[in-house]
Structures are given as structure tokens and as C-alpha cells.
Amino acid sequence: MKFFSTLFLLFLLISCDDENYIYIEQFNYTEGQTFSYEYTFSLSQNDSVFDTQKSTYKLEVVSTNASVGNFRNLIEFKVYDIESPEFYTHSWYQQTEDGFFDIAYKNAGVDPGIQPKEKNRKNRIKPSFLLPYFEFNNSHDPNYKDVVDSLIIRDEIRLTVPFPLHLETKEWTEFSNVFLRKSRTTDITTVHNKEALKVTSTFEGVFNIDIEFNSYFTNSGLIKRTIYVKDQPYFGEDSNGIIGRFDTFQEIILKK
């Protein structure tokens, strides 16, 4: 056992000396922090972009010792568009040595454009915002209630990322309700001159569309996320027929 421990420690020391190695034990959130994210949404068809929208979102760390239900010592976030701060989302996460867990949310109206398989469901052409960690807090969640003051504690606690997080981290399941999302680290890349771990997510139980979903993490948390959905069908408001197929691209990136 001593021999194994020595080898493991040696491995860590060698790895940490490698400038391309990232080892995230936990995120460094502190109460009172504020982050600005630039959000971009674009809609295209046949490689021609015909709608692009940009906005800026604020992420506030409201508390690092919040309580929800029977959960204690949670990190509470508040997110809003700077042009309409009266509309906001609160989310609560639990950070342990094992991972960063999505516990609860409030005032969520997020639609990332990734739909579960449901009969007679109609997709709408509408831009959606994509917040740090906080996607899928919407009507696809069986617990969702379209009420401003609703506080929803998830029946299925979601594993955003496991800790420690590094390039050799094994694939994990983030959630399986309403559809399945799995993630794994795939690369180390540079975002704003900072090295970040790239996490690629895959989906099961959604419409047969091509989804490229990538997140980028540092010790500061999520610094970038991109979603590229190819050949997504959309339906008319007053018709069950498909009015077209479009590609959508969404990106959030932490401002310099």
C-alpha cells in the first residue's frame, strides 16, 4: 500500500508539473462575486445565417451557505439579463469533494432548444438564453411549474461535474430525467488565454437531431459553453406540420 501511495503521489507531482495538465478539486466561488457572460444566439439554414442576437448576463454568487429544504451549505446563484434584471433565475448547488450537484431552482424559464421525445410536441422558433449550469430548468422537468415564485427541489439530484475533474476523469451521468445526458472530459483548450478543461456531453431520448454540446471549466467554474443543434425541425404555431429545419448555435463565454 505504501508503494502504491508513493507511485500515486509521484504521478500527481509529475502531472502537476505538466503545463498542459488541469486538476480541479473544487470551484473557487465566494459570496458576493459577480461575473459577466456574453451570450450569442444564431439561427441558420443551408449554411446561411439569418438571425443573430447578442446579450449580456450577470451571474451573482448570492450565498455560499444557503439552505433549501433539508439541504445545507449550498451555493446560491442569481442570473439575469442586464437589460431586464427584473427577470432572473435562482439556482442552488452543493459542492462536495465528490462533485458539483444541481439541487434546486426558482424562477426558471430556460429553453435550450433540446427537446425530449414527446408525441405531438411543437417546437417554436424562439431564441433562448443559456446560463452557467442552469439549462433544462424548464417544462421538460416533470417538477416544473410556470409560476414565478415556485421553488423546485429536484427529485433527481444532478451531477454537473465530478471532483476531482481532470482529463482522465471517467464518463459520468449528469441526469436521466426526462432524457439522459452523459458527459466526459475530452481536451484541454485555451479560453481568453486561460487553459480550460473541455467537457463534451451526449444525449439519449431526444429528437433525432445532431447535437454538439461542449462546456469549458477552470477553477473559477464554467467559463464557456457552446451548443450547436443541426437540422432541428420547427412547427408552425397553428399547424402540426413542419415549417422548416434550421441549425441553431448558442454560446456563453465569460467576459475578459
CA distance 165 to 125: 36
The edge-to-edge listing of strands for the beta sheet with 71-81 is 151-162, 99-106, 88-96, 71-81, 48-68, 34-45, 242-254, 221-235, 210-218, 194-204, 180-191, 172-175
| Residue 234 half-sphere exposure toward CB, CA atoms < 13 A | 19
Per-residue cell: 67: 439552505
Contact criterion met (CB below 8 Å) for 213 and 227: yes
Q: Please tell me the least confidently modeled range out of 119-123, 160-164, 203-207.
A: 119-123
**pLDDT of 159 above 70:** yes
CA distances from residue 249 to 53, 185, 191 in whole angstroms, order as listed: 11, 21, 18
Helix H or strand E encompassing 57: strand 48-68
Mean pLDDT confidence for 115-129: 37
Single pTM value for the model: 0.78
| Helices and strands, counts by H and E, the chain | 1, 12
Give the model's confidence band at 204: pLDDT under 50 very low, under 70 low, under 90 confident, else very high: confident
Give the model's confidence band at 239: pLDDT under 50 very low, under 70 low, under 90 confident, else very high: low
Q: What is the mean pLDDT of the chain?
A: 77
Contact criterion met (CB below 8 Å) for 124 and 237: yes
Higher-confidence residue of 148 and 101: namely: 101
User: What pLDDT is recorded for position 238?
Assistant: 61
CA distance 148 to 150: 6
Contact criterion met (CB below 8 Å) for 74 and 103: yes
**pLDDT of 65 above 90:** yes
**pLDDT of 118 above 60:** no
Q: Please tell me the least confidently modeled range out of 155-164, 175-184, 192-201.
A: 175-184
Looking at mean pLDDT, say which of 44-53, 83-92, 107-116, 191-200 comes out highest: 191-200
Please give the angle made by the CA atoms of 124, 129 and 131, to the nearest 5 degrees. Answer: 140
Q: Is the peptide bond before 178 cis (omega within 30 degrees of 0)?
A: yes
Looking at mean pLDDT, say which of 14-18, 80-84, 146-150 comes out highest: 80-84
User: What pLDDT is recorded for position 231?
Assistant: 81
Contact criterion met (CB below 8 Å) for 96 and 74: no
Mean pLDDT confidence for 236-249: 73
**pLDDT of 33 above 80:** yes
**pLDDT of 10 above 60:** no
Domain ranges in the chain are 20-254
